[in-house]
Structure 1
Amino acid sequence: CSFTALAAASSPPGVIAGSLAGHGVATLIAVLGGSLLGTFLSEKIISYIGGSLFLAFAAVTLVEIATS
């Protein structure tokens, strides 16, 4: 359900407040999770993991494009 459709079917201030709250919670989890990972893993290992995930997602996207 898109933001516009939800706002049209519901109270727009409620949709905006819920969206802001959800984004805030997701950001908080990302920041705390990153901080926690930073205490256990070195920056170099995190970079390797991030690069590997980027390449994996790129490969999956390439396969999906080629097969469609």
Structure 2
Amino acid sequence: MLATIVLGAAQSPWGVASVAIAGHLVATSPAILGGAFLANYISEKLVGYLGGVLFLVFDVATLFGVF
């Protein structure tokens, strides 16, 4: 985000905004499409549980200095 602000100040703000929006679209499209695909096979409840478990795993790993 900081790079976008700096580029917007140094270059054309409309060009920077257009490229930033296009880049965000390209970066998030696979996640949106993948999520829509997985929604057919996995329930929201299971995703919530998996997300919670992964959060706790990364929390404990960080606590013990793994990362």
Give distance in 1, aligned partners of 2:11 and 2:61.
Answer: 37
Tell me the matched-pair count: 64
Give distance in 2, aligned partners of 1:40 and 1:57.
Answer: 25
* Residue of structure 2 in register with 1:54 after alignment: 55
Consecutive unaligned residues in structure 2, runs of 5 or more: none
> Alpha carbon RMSD of aligned pairs, Å?
2.5
**TM-score, normalising length: structure 2:** 0.62
Residue 51 (structure 1) shift: 0.9
Q: How does 1:22-61 map to 2 (within 5 A)?
A: 22-60=23-61
Residue 15 (structure 1) shift: 0.8
Give distance in 1, aligned partners of 2:54 and 2:64.
Answer: 15
**Aligned-residue identity in percent:** 47
